[in-house]
Structures are given as structure tokens and as C-alpha cells.
Amino acid sequence: MKTLQGPAVFLAQFIRDEAPFNTLEGLGRWAADKGFVAVQLPTNVPALFDLVRAAESQTYCDEITGRLAECGVQVSELSTHLQGQLVAVHPAYDSLFDGFAPEALRGNKAARTEWAISQVKAAAKASARMGLRASVTFSGALAWPYFYPWPQRPAGLVEAAFDELARRWRPILDTYTEAGVDLCYEIHPGEDLHDGLSFERFLAAVEGHERCHILYDPSHFVLQQLDYLGFIDVYHERIRMFHVKDAEFRPSPRSGVYGGYADWVGRAGRFRSVGDGQIDFAAIFSKLAQYDFPGWAVLEWECCLKDSEVGAREGAEFIRRHIIQVAQRAFDDFAGSGVDAGHLRSVLGLATT
């Protein structure tokens, strides 16, 4: 059995234009001071981490690893959430997602898509150079505007969307095979891969690709009213990454799953700092231990109420308390009788030979 690694923290929500959050060393030292032993590193800020250079240079990757080690942390995984989002964008969201691309590519959808694909492929090579086993991304979305069937979806619309999604992602997944790295899609509303059925549809479209895996984040399942514990039972063989993020769902006569266009504070479903929401993390950590989850427990801090500094400090301790140091022997070994095979057959009333 394997013991989860951690605590780690996803840095995306903490990067900003002020110290210590504007340099790699500053973020590394901040994370270590909060009690984290690893950082999940976004790759969309070249000033912090040059993804293209990392894909091409072992020296650069070793330098990044060394600089963070001096701060007291290591890299758990690389993230291409924003680049992956641009692999597939429905026209309704073109202008909103253009800001995720370099300025020179904005307004040029074809060039933006090719850039996004090259970025996610680069993360495979960079991850391999850094000795990492998995990387996380978003799937992007072509069918999401039609998730609720009114007006009724035309026959074949969803199938066409997932065929195209698979066509774009299959060469990327092949790059991850070549690198020996798993690509984990965060199952997330707004993406075409937003629940178990949509992941299954995609997995079938890429013919069960060996590198197509899941980042498990229970907060998104609470907001959709999915069974987040049962999800682990069904998909544990494909779960290779884990975001520790809490949530609550408190429906009212005025608002439910869809939120009524309210801001985060006013929604029935809200993200919360770990321990402040409704998620049974003791059960989650137990199930992940049961299924030999091989990766990191990574805090993703998102809360509409609590200060991020407090949430980060509490989150590191919360993860540390919940990681189960798995047993190396059965608790009832002391009662073993040590009998041989012949005795076992006689206990069962079977003839011995």
C-alpha cells in the first residue's frame, strides 16, 4: 500500500505582482513557511517558469528544481490549465478566453489553438525532464453551451463535439506516452469533461488512451450534486492527481445548482477553505489509501469568505492531519496460527494428499 504524498499547494491562486508572490523563490519560501513540502506549478507565467525552455533544457529543469529545493519545497506537478482550455473553445467564449493567450495571437483562433497544443505537449517533455509522473490540464469545451437540452440538442451534436475534442487531444496524449507522463484532466464544470459520463465519453473517443487520466477535485462534484465518494470507487484506476478543495451546497427557494447568476458569496454552491465546507475528507483520504493512490494531496485554495493566508496555513495542517500512513502489516497478524497447507485442508474437511 502507498502513503499519499503531501502537503502540496497549487500556486495559481497566489501569484500576483507583489513580494513574495511575484518570484519563484518568494513563492517557494512562502509555501515552505506555511508548512507545504511541494508546489504544483502553473506554466502560464514565463517569468516564474519558462515552459518552452524547460521542455528543451535539462539544465534549466535542474536549475528550477535546485532553486526550489533551497527554499524547502519540490515540484509535485506542472499545470497547463489555461493552455488546455484553449485547445478547444466554443465561439461563444472566444473573446473571453483570448486573454489566456499571448497578445500576438489574440483574435487568431487557429494560431491560438496551435500554440495551446504546443504548450501542453511541452509540459509532457518538461515533466519528464523534472522526473514528474503526472501533469494537469483542462479539456476545453465545444459542447458546454449545450449542457442543458433546451432548445433540444440536434441529434449528433454531442457526438460531433467529442469526436473533434478527441481528434485534437489524441496527438497530445501520444506525446505524454512518449514522455512517460500521465495527463490528468480536471473534471470541472465549464469543461466538456465535467463529470463521470463526460469523461467516459471522451475516454472512449480516444480509445481508452493509456495516458488519459483524472485530477480528482471533490468540490466540483458537491456543486453538481454528484456522489464524490462513489466517484473514487468507479474511477480510481484513472485518478492520478488530487486537489484538496472544500465546498458547500445549501439550496434555497431562490437558488440551486445553477446559482441564479449570483456572485460566489450569494450562490447555493460555494467553494470554501478546507474544513469549512461539507466534504468528508476523512472518507476521501481513506478511499485513496484503500486504492493505493500514487500521488500528491495538493491544496487548491478557493474561498469566498476566508483570507488566503489563513486558508493556506490551515490547509497545510489539514492535509497533514488527514494523510494516512498506511499499514505495512495486517492489524490481526498477531492472531495468525501459522498452520501449513495440509492443516488448512483438514480444517475445511477436505482430504489431504
Q: Each residue of 139-180: pLDDT tens digit?
A: 999 999 999 999 999 999 999 999 999 999 999 999 999 999
d(CA 158, CA 98): 24
The domain spans of the chain are 5-347
The secondary element (H helix, E strand) that includes residue 248 is strand 246-249
The pLDDT tens digits for 247-285 are 999 999 999 999 999 999 999 999 999 999 999 999 999
- Burial class of residue 260 in the structure, from the number of CB atoms within 10 Å of its CB (0-12 exposed, 13-18 middle, 19+ buried): exposed
State residue 332's pLDDT score.
65
Strand, helix or coil at 135? strand
Q: Does 5-347 carry CATH code 3.40.50.1980?
A: no
Torsion of CA 266, 269, 273, 279, to 10 degrees: 150
State residue 353's pLDDT score.
59
Question: Which residue would you say has higher pLDDT here, 286 or 2?
Answer: 286
The pLDDT tens digits for 322-336 are 999 998 776 666 566
State residue 60's pLDDT score.
98
Report the predicted TM-score, pTM, of the whole model to 2 decimal places.
0.95
> What number of other Cβ atoms are within 10 A of residue 152's Cβ?
8
Q: Please, which pLDDT band fits residue 295 given cuts at 50, 70 and 90?
A: very high
State residue 240's pLDDT score.
98
Mean pLDDT of all residues in 119-129 = 98
- Residue 104 grid cell: 500576438
Q: Please, which pLDDT band fits residue 13 given cuts at 50, 70 and 90?
A: very high
| Helices H / strands E in the chain, number of each | 13, 10
State residue 339's pLDDT score.
72
Closest-CA residue to 244 (of 162, 165, 352, 317): 317
